[in-house]
């Protein structure tokens, strides 16, 4: 904390944001050196890197709220699958319009989030256990709603034959690009989620409450902070963000896959932690999460354009997460 360095650059890198930024710069530098036959200098590469990171990033927005309040949400991956399945069912099979489907899916996410929140905040079950059970429950719901199969544009008739329907209009909209094909719409949605989370965390009273609860729950309670309501709100928002991610996923895949999103919660947690938000709660922010999302997103892209096979990519990502978190801890004292 007491960095006496006069050099403003050095001092900037001593802050959590500076360190997260430094990690991102290092990853980008890696991309410049190992540029995969100059694929790294093509705008399409960056567009795809951002697009691929967006769904994870949207989950990480909700995860940030929950982690800052001192909790954790393991259910987001399953919730993504549940809402993707619901979304496909409503939009493809029932032919609902986007105006109806999207709010309905957000409602599903919010409801599931409020159940996790109620279990952990009101019934005082550890967040790990409460959201673990929601994770299993939501996966089961996804399989129940979908009948265990992917919900796609191929619809089974009662006589066992298939008929094909059009991909819904708003699926195409979400999966399209703007600015002359240089920016994916899902990236735009991710940006909107970051903005919403930032408004809540930095500009709203409830955001301050989350920081206070994560820092010292008992002191917050005795200062009149509505602890139960604030924690529930964090999980509800996490559920809503998971629903947004689920809609994006369904639109991109043009189907609802009940097996989708497995392990996504861990990727979202890794992104939050690499940004420098403390898993103990009370410290961090959505800006840090944005840096963490970009770092892991680009790392993955750079490894893939250099034709590192998936096995190697996963191992390297694991090692880099540990290294990044270790450097943050050492400099924190």
Residues that bind another protein (CB under 8 A): 1, 203-209, 211-212, 214-216, 218-226, 282-283
Phi, psi of 229 (to 5 degrees): -65, -40
Instruction: Provide the minimum distance between the beta carbon of 163 and another protein in the complex, in angstroms, as a whole number.
Output: 50
Whole-angstrom Cα distance, residue 290 to residue 53? 10
Contact in structure between 53 and 194 (CB atoms under 8 Å) = no
Contact in structure between 92 and 165 (CB atoms under 8 Å) = yes
Give whichever of 117 and 281 is closer to another protein, judged by the CB atom. Answer: 281
Whole-angstrom Cα distance, residue 215 to residue 281? 6
Instruction: Provide the minimum distance between the beta carbon of 112 and another protein in the complex, in angstroms, as a whole number.
Output: 24
Instruction: Provide the minimum distance between the beta carbon of 1 and another protein in the complex, in angstroms, as a whole number.
Output: 7
Give whichever of 113 and 207 is closer to another protein, judged by the CB atom. Answer: 207
Instruction: Provide the minimum distance between the beta carbon of 207 and another protein in the complex, in angstroms, as a whole number.
Output: 8
Q: Would you say the C-alpha torsion 8, 9, 15, 21 has a positive or negative sign?
A: positive
Instruction: Provide the minimum distance between the beta carbon of 50 and another protein in the complex, in angstroms, as a whole number.
Output: 30
CB neighbours of residue 58 within 10 Å: 32
Give whichever of 72 and 213 is closer to another protein, judged by the CB atom. Answer: 213
Instruction: Provide the minimum distance between the beta carbon of 200 and another protein in the complex, in angstroms, as a whole number.
Output: 10
Contact in structure between 145 and 89 (CB atoms under 8 Å) = yes
Q: What angle do CA 227, 279, 53 make, to 5 degrees?
A: 110
Give whichever of 160 and 224 is closer to another protein, judged by the CB atom. Answer: 224
Give whichever of 165 and 202 is closer to another protein, judged by the CB atom. Answer: 202
Instruction: Provide the minimum distance between the beta carbon of 206 and another protein in the complex, in angstroms, as a whole number.
Output: 7
Give whichever of 143 and 283 is closer to another protein, judged by the CB atom. Answer: 283
Q: Please state, in angstroms and as integers, the Cα–Cα distance from residue 263 to each residue in 75, 78, 266, 270, following that order.
A: 10, 9, 5, 11
Radius of gyration of the chain, Cα coordinates, nearest whole angstrom: 21
Instruction: Provide the minimum distance between the beta carbon of 190 and another protein in the complex, in angstroms, as a whole number.
Output: 24
Give whichever of 80 and 225 is closer to another protein, judged by the CB atom. Answer: 225
Give whichever of 156 and 280 is closer to another protein, judged by the CB atom. Answer: 280
Pairing of strands 162-164, 154-156: antiparallel
- Reference 271, options 76, 130, 42; nearest CA is 76
Q: What angle do CA 68, 229, 194 make, to 5 degrees?
A: 40
Q: Would you say the C-alpha torsion 78, 282, 231, 234 has a positive or negative sign?
A: negative
């Amino acid at each position: 904390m007491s960095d006496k360095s006069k050099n403003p650059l050095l001092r900037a890198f001593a802050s959590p944001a500076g360190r997260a930024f430094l990690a991102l710069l290092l990853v980008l530098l890696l991309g410049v050196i190992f540029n995969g036959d100059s694929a790294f200098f093509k705008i399409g590469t960056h567009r795809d890197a951002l697009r691929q990171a967006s769904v994870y990033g949207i989950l990480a927005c909700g995860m940030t709220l929950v982690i800052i309040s001192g909790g954790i949400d393991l259910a987001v991956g399953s919730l993504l699958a549940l809402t993707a399945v619901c979304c496909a069912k409503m939009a493809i099979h029932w032919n609902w319009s986007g105006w109806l489907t999207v709010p309905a899916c957000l409602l599903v996410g919010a409801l599931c989030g409020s159940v996790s929140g109620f279990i952990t905040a009101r019934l005082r079950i550890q967040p790990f256990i409460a959201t673990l059970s929601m994770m299993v429950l939501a996966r089961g719901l996804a399989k129940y709603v979908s009948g265990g199969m992917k919900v796609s544009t191929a619809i089974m008739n009662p006589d066992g034959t298939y008929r094909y329907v059009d991909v819904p209009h708003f699926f195409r909209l979400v999966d399209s690009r703007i600015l002359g094909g240089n920016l994916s719409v899902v990236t735009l949605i991710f940006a909107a989620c970051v903005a919403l989370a930032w408004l809540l965390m930095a500009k709203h009273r409830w955001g301050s409450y989350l920081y206070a609860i994560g820092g010292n729950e008992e002191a917050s309670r005795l200062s009149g902070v509505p602890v139960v309501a604030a924690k529930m709100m964090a999980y509800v928002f996490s559920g809503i963000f998971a629903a947004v991610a689920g809609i994006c996923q369904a639109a991109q895949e043009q189907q609802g896959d009940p097996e989708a999103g497995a392990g996504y919660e861990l990727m979202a947690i890794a992104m939050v932690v690499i940004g420098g938000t403390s898993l103990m709660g009370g410290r961090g922010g959505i800006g840090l999460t944005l840096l963490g999302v970009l770092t892991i997103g680009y790392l993955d892209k750079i490894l893939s354009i250099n034709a590192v096979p998936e096995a190697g990519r996963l191992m390297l990502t694991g090692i880099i997460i540990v290294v990044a978190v270790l450097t943050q801890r050492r400099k924190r004292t």
